[in-house]
Amino acid sequence: MPTYEFMCENCSEPFDVRATIQEKENGLQPPCPKCGYQETRQIISGGLFIRTSGGSSFNPPGCAPNSGPGCCG
């Protein structure tokens, strides 16, 4: 069962909710566990941090893979 991250519109309390895909498709909107406020919104996580691979496969900025001799030393 996936976990969804929500945030309260009233007190900005973040909280996690475990729900099935079916529940999510039906418009999941759990109340705030802190203040009980009904208006909550889902926090879309992922995509905020781009993980670079690093290492030898990393190309320096401005250097295309097939630039030919003389590029980037």
Binding site for Zn ion (CB under 5 A): 8, 10-11, 13, 32, 34-35, 37
- Distance of closest approach, residue 6 Cβ to Zn ion, in angstroms: 10
Q: Which of 29, 38, 36, 34 is nearest to 6 (CA)?
A: 29
Do residues 14 and 32 touch, judged by C-beta distance below 8 A?
no
Which residue lies nearer to Zn ion by CB, 38 or 59?
Answer: 38
Judged by phi (left if over 0) then psi (alpha if -120 to 50, else beta), residue 68 lies in left
Which residue lies nearer to Zn ion by CB, 13 or 23?
Answer: 13
- Distance of closest approach, residue 36 Cβ to Zn ion, in angstroms: 7
